[in-house]
Structure formats: structure tokens, C-alpha cells
Structure 1
Amino acid sequence: MAAHRKPRNSPLGGQAARTAATLALASAATATVFEGSGHAEPRLTPAQVKAKVDRLYQEAEVATEKYNGAKEKADAARDALDRLRDEAARRTARLNTARDGLGSVAAAQYRSGGLDPAVQLALTSDPEQYLERAALAEKAGQRQAATVTSVRRELAGIRQLKAESDERLTQLRGHEADLRRQKAAVRGKLDEARSLLARLTAEERARYEAAASGAGRGDTDGSSTGTPGSQADRASGIRGPVTAPSSRAAQAISFARDQLGKPYVWGATGPSAYDCSGLTQAAWRSAGVALPRTTYTQINAGQRVSRSELAPGDLVFFYSGISHVGLYIGGGQMIHAPRPGAPVRVAPIDEMPFAGATRVS
């Protein structure tokens, strides 16, 4: 019976079993430690964090300019669509008026019974009056024919406007989709930069922010007293007013100086915040010159000049992708909106890789 069966011997008994269990637990713990170490992010030095954050901000600025371009195209497509819809509404109103006129003529003909003109002449008690009316009717018929032609023309025009509106609507939706993609790209880069900065200690972060705001480098963050112009002169090493080649260039520089210390916000065109191309666009707008919205279109908005030919008021561009722009003020200095966390300030043009310059007129 089952009660008389011998218990089966374990291949590892007593001390051997305990030793094996201990080794298994130790092995599992070691594996866990190594697995966790494999997924842990390495500790970055402050210099490495700064380099990565600077790269992310530069990539975010590239995406910002693409966003600005997509927004400009979307706005243009939306304006064109609105104009087409307004014109279609006007033509539809004219069409309805013409149709009402034709309806009145048709109703009059129905009331007269549509009798043959010869029969009407035979039955009338006043032939002279009838002939006079017939002459008027002939003229009315000519006007009616012209109205029919007008109706046909309006119908064709409305069909054409609808086709153009459908095309513009398709373009608008495409630009809006691009806008959403570029917005997501900018936010992704900025979120990643913030995450990296969060790894720094309070002291390291303070040093980084001080460097970003231009403290200790002779640049101005706009927080000191005095007029914006005098701040710019002190920061650039220029004594006295900048000698601009034209009154418009002088006005653009004066406007840019008045913006010193205002924050960088991507996609912003003022008056309380700017991105780089938003600042240069606003500065030259104050001088009566309409610049396009993006860095890669602003570089073609005037006459190209070499670095050795730079004059105050010129637009200076940076990076191979033409992703950053500043307003040259002389003495190797510019006013620009650098990036998030760094307000509008005066800075040397040597602080970024120079890509070209344009003289606006």
C-alpha cells in the first residue's frame, strides 16, 4: 500500500541543498545588479550636459524656423481660401439676382398664357398700344438673353472658384499638418534639454544659466539701468551712436536695442518676446521694410555681402542650415534673440559659425 512506500531521495539533500539554494539566490541578485547597471544612464559632466543642451537648442531652432515657414504658408493659404470664398459668395448673390429676374419674366409669360404674338395682335382692342408693348417686349427679350448669358457665366465662375477653393483647402490642411509636426519637434527638443539640465546641481545650473544670459561676458541682459542704446554700446565696446549707412538701418538698430532683455520664445514676433528671425523681421518692419518670416528666406531678402563688408543694419546668419540670424551693429557685434533662457542681447558674431550676410535696403 502507499503507506509502505519509501520516500524518494532528493538528488541534493541536507547541506548540499542549502548550498545550492544560496548560490541560486546569489546568482539571481548578481544578475539583477548587472541588468540594472546596463540600463542606468551614465553620469554626465556639466560640460557634457552643456554641449548636449546647446546642440538640442540649436536643433530646436532649426525646427522653429521650419515651423515659422509652415505657419507662413498656412496663413497665406488660409487668406487665399477666405478670399476665394468671399468672391464665391459675391458671385452667388449676383447669380441669385439674375435667377430672380428670369423667374419674374417666366411668371409673366405664364400669366399671359404664352399666346402667339399674331393672335394677341388680332384679339387686342388697341393694336397701336400692343405694337408699342411688343417693341418693349423685344427689348426685354434681349435683356433676358443677356441675363441668361450672365447666369451661365456666373455658374462657370462659381464652379471654377469651388475648384480653386478645394485646392487651397487641401494645401492648407497639408501646411497645418506640417505645422503640427514642427511644433512637436520643437517641443521634443526643448523637453529633452530641460531633462538634461535637471541633472545638474543647483550650483551647476546657476553657472549654466548665467552663461546663457550673457552674465560675465560683457553682454547685456537688459536688467541694468540706463537706456537700451547705452547698454548696447557698452556691451559692444562701441563709443557713441552707431553710424548706420542709412536712416532705415539706423531705425532697425534703434528698434532692436529697445528690445534688449526681452525673452526668447520660439515662434514669437513681438512685442513682448521674439525668436531670432522674429526680432530681425520686427526691427526692419519698424523701418518700413517687410522682411519674410524665416532665416532661410531672409537671407535672400537683400544684397549678399561678405563678412569683411559688414555694415550696421546688415543681417548676419549662422550655421550651415541658415538656422539663426542677428542684426549687425558694428564692431563685430550683433543684437539677436539667442534661444530659450537667453534674452535678446548684444553678442559677438564670432560666438557661432558664420554662414553669410545680407544687406537690406
Structure 2
Amino acid sequence: MFTSKRSVAALISAIISLVAPLLTAPSADAAQTLAQVQARVRQLEEEATTAAEGAQEAKVKLASLNGQLQGIQAKAAVQSQSVAALSKSLNAIAVEQFKTGGLSQSLELLFSSDPALYLSAAGSLEAITRKKSVELRKFQAAKQRLTATSLTVSDKLALVKATQKKLAAQSARAIAKLAEAESLLSKLKKEDRERLARLAQEEEDADQASSLAAAKTAGAVSGRAGKALQFALKQIGDKYVFGADGMTYWDCSGLTMRAFQTAGVSLPHSSRAQFNYGKSVKRSNLAPGDLIFFGRPISHVGIYLGGGKMVHAPRSGSRVKVASASNLGRKPFVGARRL
């Protein structure tokens, strides 16, 4: 009996020794879930950044379209005045003809309510002199130009509306992705949220320290590329914010735009639009100061530092830093441009 009690006690002791660590330490599954949440939050932040760059592209295109539209509308206004003046001149001809003998059948056609009818009959207006025929041809040409311009205005208005819709959709998508990330974090225990925040802070602090060190050891670069690169390096540690272009907050294309602006190069505030500037450079021929682009479609841009590194404004929740110039997470390297 005694032996049996000792055996039972030993068995209970063994069970406790096995279970105790599970009760006092976080399980592997729990730790993995936290890591999964962290990875998902990072992914959502990157997707939000992609959407934000899409919104920037739409904003740049919209500004260009509005500029074109204003120019075309101004042209239409001038052409409309020209048509009105020519119409007035033809009215004067009609009055003069009436005073000297009334309107002929051909002139009645000319001033009928159907423009196509009197314009098609222009060649047979026996009562109008050569000078008057010239005026009529001018009127016809002016009407045609005005019609064509009016159609162009309509086309541009349609493009403006479509671009406005895209801008709103991309902006909403960026906001929704960040809201989803916040929702995921809000479902965690307070201590887990604090732990993730602390880990993110430590990661950003470490990146900033290494980035500042890389900036100090960067070689001197001459010309526009050097000026742009030095400007970007001075912004290390500044926070990423959608649509920001300085001087405290930046997004990726806002940083590159301002950096090259200091070097006398004008760029649009859009990574996709910036890809159309300068000349193409092979990855094997990259030089400090080259713009490097990522994502299909393009949604990120940085400035090559040399040694396989770049300076860039990565994403929401991060800061301007020096990082690897290889593929950027889910965004592959797609090309480089030299300005």
C-alpha cells in the first residue's frame, strides 16, 4: 500500500512538472499568433502605402487634366466669340441685301434654322459676292472648330470625372487598410499591444542608428544627384505620412520630389509619374543619386545610396531610413532612372 502511494505521488509530481511550464509561460501557439498579427499589420501598412501612391498618381493626373481643360475651355470661349462676330457680319449682309432688293431663295436658305442646309448651299448663293462668300466660309470653318473643341471639352470632363473617382477610391482604400490594421491591434490584449509597439519602436530606433551611420560613411557625390542624396539623408528619422512632402513628414515620392527640387529638378509627387523622367539605368549600372522603383504597378521610389542600399520613406508607421535596395517586401525592383 505504501509503495502504491509513493507511485501515485511520483506520478502526480511528474504531471505537475510537465504542466507547470504551460501554465506559467506563453504557449508557442500564442506567440505565433502574435507574430502573425504583427506580419499582417505590416502587410496592411504596405498595402495602404501602395493605395496612397495610387492616389498620388491620380492627383497628379487630375491636376494635369484640369490644366488642359481650362486651356481648352478658354479656346472654346475665343472660338465662340469668333463665331458670334462672323454671324453678326452675315446678318449685316442679309440686311443690306434686303434693303437693295429683298432676300433671294438662296439667302433664305442661308438664314434658315437648319445650319447644315444653308452651309451646304453656300456654293450656290447667287446673290452673295465673292467677299460675302469668303465670310461664309470663315463662319463655316469657325463653327467646325468650335464643335471639335466642344467635343474635346466633353472628353476631358469625362476623364476628369474618372480620375476624381479613382483618387477617391485609392484614398479610401489606403484609409481602410490602416483601419483594418488598427482593428487587428485593438483585439489584442493590452500587454500584447504594448509589446508589439515596443518591438516596433526598438526596430525603428535600430534602423535609425544604422541609417545615420551609413549617411556619415557615404561617399561624396557631385552634381544634382549628390545634392538630392544629401537632402534625403538629412531627413533620416522623419515619419512617413500619406501624401506628405516635408518638411517634417514624408511619403516616398514626396521625399524624392523635394530632394531633387533642391537640385533644380522638377518632379511630380507620384512614384509612377516620376518613372517617366530621366533616362533608364540597368540595375548593374546603378550609381548614387539614381531613383529606384518598386512594385507592379509602380508604388514606391527611393534614392540609391550605393553599396546595394537606398534612402527612402518606407510606409506608414515607419521613418525615413537607409535600407537594402533589393526587392522591397512584396514589391519587386522594377527599374531605375537617372536625372
TM-score (norm 2): 0.70
Offset of residue 163 of structure 1: 1.3
Equivalent residue letter for 2:184: L
CA–CA distance in structure 1, aligned partners of residues 80 and 296 of structure 2: 51
- Asked whether the 8 Å contact 2:86–2:138 carries over to 1, the reply is yes
- The reply on whether 1:360 has 2:338 as its aligned counterpart is yes
1:53 pairs with one of 34, 38, 41: 41
CA–CA distance in structure 2, aligned partners of residues 115 and 182 of structure 1: 63
- Asked whether the 8 Å contact 2:208–2:237 carries over to 1, the reply is no
Q: Which residue of 2 aligns with 1:315?
A: 291
Q: Which residue of 1 aligns with 2:233?
A: 257
Equivalent residue letter for 1:243: A
Offset of residue 109 of structure 1: 4.1
Offset of residue 236 of structure 1: 0.9
Question: Tell me, which stretches of 5 or more residues in structure 2 are unaligned?
Answer: 1-29, 105-127
Most deviating of 328-337 and 167-176: 328-337
Offset of residue 66 of structure 1: 2.1
The change in CA–CA distance for 1:147 and 1:278 in structure 2 (over 3 A counts) is same
1:268 pairs with one of 233, 244, 248: 244
Q: Which residue of 1 aligns with 2:80?
A: 92
- Asked whether the 8 Å contact 1:291–1:298 carries over to 2, the reply is yes
Offset of residue 242 of structure 1: 3.3
Q: Which residue of 2 aligns with 1:104?
A: 92
- Asked whether the 8 Å contact 2:271–2:299 carries over to 1, the reply is yes
Question: Tell me, which stretches of 5 or more residues in structure 1 are unaligned?
Answer: 1-41, 117-139, 221-231
The change in CA–CA distance for 1:89 and 1:44 in structure 2 (over 3 A counts) is farther
Offset of residue 291 of structure 1: 4.1
1:283 pairs with one of 245, 259, 264: 259
Q: Which residue of 2 aligns with 1:304?
A: 281
SS at match of 2:207: coil
SS at match of 2:301: strand
Equivalent residue letter for 1:252: A
| Residue deviations 1:25-81 (CA, integer Å, cap 9, x gap) | xxxxxxxxxxxxxxxxx9974422221111101111222222222333333332222
Equivalent residue letter for 2:322: V
- The reply on whether 1:235 has 2:213 as its aligned counterpart is yes
SS at match of 2:44: helix
Equivalent residue letter for 2:251: D
| Residue deviations 1:120-144 (CA, integer Å, cap 9, x gap) | xxxxxxxxxxxxxxxxxxxx95443
SS at match of 1:173: helix
Q: Which residue of 1 aligns with 2:65?
A: 77
| Residue deviations 1:199-246 (CA, integer Å, cap 9, x gap) | 35363254144146x2133448xxxxxxxxxxx6x431643x6322x4
Offset of residue 171 of structure 1: 2.0
- Asked whether the 8 Å contact 1:316–1:328 carries over to 2, the reply is yes
CA–CA distance in structure 2, aligned partners of residues 98 and 207 of structure 1: 76
Equivalent residue letter for 1:74: L
Q: Which residue of 2 aligns with 1:247?
A: 223
Cα RMSD after superposing both structures: 3.2
- Asked whether the 8 Å contact 1:284–1:290 carries over to 2, the reply is yes
Q: How many residues align?
A: 281
TM-score (norm 1): 0.66
Q: Which residue of 2 aligns with 1:216?
A: 206
Offset of residue 189 of structure 1: 0.3
The change in CA–CA distance for 1:102 and 1:115 in structure 2 (over 3 A counts) is closer
The change in CA–CA distance for 1:325 and 1:272 in structure 2 (over 3 A counts) is same
Offset of residue 150 of structure 1: 1.4
| Residue deviations 1:252-273 (CA, integer Å, cap 9, x gap) | 1133234444432223344553
The change in CA–CA distance for 1:350 and 1:151 in structure 2 (over 3 A counts) is closer
- Asked whether the 8 Å contact 2:52–2:243 carries over to 1, the reply is yes
SS at match of 1:329: strand
Q: Percent identity?
A: 33
User: Which protein shows a greater Rg?
Assistant: 1
Q: Which residue of 1 aligns with 2:194?
A: 203
CA–CA distance in structure 2, aligned partners of residues 163 and 115 of structure 1: 35
CA–CA distance in structure 2, aligned partners of residues 187 and 235 of structure 1: 34
- Asked whether the 8 Å contact 2:59–2:167 carries over to 1, the reply is yes
Q: Which residue of 1 aligns with 2:312?
A: 336
CA–CA distance in structure 2, aligned partners of residues 115 and 304 of structure 1: 72
- Asked whether the 8 Å contact 1:62–1:321 carries over to 2, the reply is no
SS at match of 1:86: helix
- Asked whether the 8 Å contact 1:46–1:204 carries over to 2, the reply is no
Equivalent residue letter for 2:333: A
CA–CA distance in structure 1, aligned partners of residues 275 and 84 of structure 2: 50
- Asked whether the 8 Å contact 1:305–1:356 carries over to 2, the reply is no
CA–CA distance in structure 1, aligned partners of residues 223 and 292 of structure 2: 19
